[in-house]
Chain A
């Protein structure tokens, strides 16, 4: 955990594997890794295969690749559920996720800048409080927050889901950005200050652009978390037309006759996973390096 490893670019950090001492172990190594890989990816491969199987075969047939693949499971999705198109759920989830990303990026970076670059009275105390909220179980806040939002008439809107994102309650991302910002060379903002720049200019023109990797990591995590969020929408959204994909899936599962349309449910599960999987494929370096960093640099 030396200072040498704390270059500001998360994503381009060089790989430094331990020395592989024995060449002979290489085959065994790959075999082991592949075996784990097979178990880990089985559910993902399974759901892809199952979505092309007739309902009756899904549980009982062990074939990963269906012998007679069918498309009807996906075709059924086009009809939507009860006059609500599947696309509506996706739009809602997208709205929620993008709204959350914007909020987190703005509010968390502002907060992080203050923690990392401004020396103000009470900073240490506030920082400890912020870290403390990382460990606080969300459920303690759930009931009063619900009562409060209900009194404000915000039930069945996205406001309760989003407001926290705009008020920097996502301490994890604040923390990630603080870690990143304080490793940026100080000389930069000192020079800027000599040029007469205020904090906002430094934040906006110098620090933010340099923080891109941390911002991207936070954005992707926020997007995926919002996309997967279940409890928030479950509690706050009432109208099926406002449901996110998670709730839409539950609704699909619960509707009568779906027990018969198991294939449709599996197909929709797969479709609901796709955005996350695609995000992952596109940005995995940012995600993994961001994750690794959270545990390391102190």
Chain B
């Protein structure tokens, strides 16, 4: 059986299992047609959902992307106008820049912390379950509006972060009002939620056969060598999974930016993440055509990143022999 990532790849692994004795030999197995019928019957909610809520809207949004549509008019075909406007729009550029910064800084920091803490926790049995649970908690509450408020408070002028920073002679004042700093407040919020990838890393680490370490130790390999030569390759499928999910996830940040900035995505557009601008264009200004075009650019970006990651995994993700 393949590791985690196979599932994002192709077929349900069950398909590879040998046909069951019953279905292969007895004549009483339900006919192929009945199996098909049953399959589609069971699948019918999903199929309806896929057609009505995913495929249909995707097609519609592709169409809207090429129209001038403000909710009040009938969509008017404008060709690539929305895309041209978008590329020349300084605020769109700004939103790309802000989002890219957020993804590029936030995701690696979060994953590094997750891996580091997972390795720390993996070293001991005692208290592990407790720490694991405690570190995981922020991932659950991080998305709530409450935490957005708390974050805003903690990063205010004169609050804990500001004071701690000032102790080191680095006075910034409140981060939330400062266009140069406020994005890092959001980065801190996502890094704080390192628990989810950590749990996955931890599960991966547990599956590394300990004989490998013992053998390596006997060969005189130091901790760094062992990490590089054993741990990293062995957990690379899990690492790949985490990188993929966290990256895609952080492209879509909305709630925390909206709440921490009090719905302004400011100051000075400093937290104007991509989806904030999409929301503003679509739901505040009713530029639905433009917003749909923006959404498709986001889809392309995510698809590109996904493709690059999948392509690159050949070079660095190690699957167990026989897995692929």
Contacts and interface: CB of A to CB of B under 8 A. Distances in A.
Verify whether A and B have any Cβ pair under 8 Å. Answer: yes
Interface of A: 1-3, 5-6, 15-20, 25-26, 29-30, 32-33, 36-37, 40-44, 46-47, 50, 58-60, 62, 106-107, 110-111, 113-121, 123-124, 126-131, 133-148, 163-164, 166-169, 174-175, 178-179, 182, 186, 190, 193-194, 198-199, 203, 224-225, 227-228, 230-231, 235, 245-246, 249-250, 253, 265-266, 268-270, 272-273, 276-277, 280, 284, 287-288, 291-298
Interface in B235-289: 237-238, 241-242, 244, 248, 251-252, 254-255, 258-259, 262-263, 275, 278-279, 282-283, 288
9 contacts: A41-B134, A43-B150, A47-B150, A114-B39, A124-B10, A143-B295, A230-B255, A231-B254, A292-B200
B12 interface: yes
Interface string B91-123: 000000000000000000000000001001111
Given A29-B124, A135-B302, A144 B60 contact: yes
Majority-rule SS of B interface residues: helix
B40 to A, nearest CB: 6
Given A32-B120, A280-B137, A296 B144 contact: no
B203 A292 contact: yes
Interface string B29-69: 10010011011101101111110111011101100100000
B57 A280 contact: no
B136 A284 contact: yes
Contact of A190 (B21, B56, B64, B145): B21
Nearest to A150: B71
Given A140-B58, A231-B254, A266-B149, A37 B154 contact: no
Contact of A141 (B39, B54, B135, B160): B54
B125 interface: yes
Contacts of A138: 252
Nearest to B244: A135
Nearest to B292: A143
Given A130-B46, A178-B12, 18 more contacts: A15-B125, A36-B117, A114-B38, A118-B38, A126-B47, A129-B50, A131-B8, A139-B278, A147-B60, A167-B52, A190-B22, A231-B279, A269-B145, A276-B144, A292-B200, A292-B203, A293-B203, A298-B5
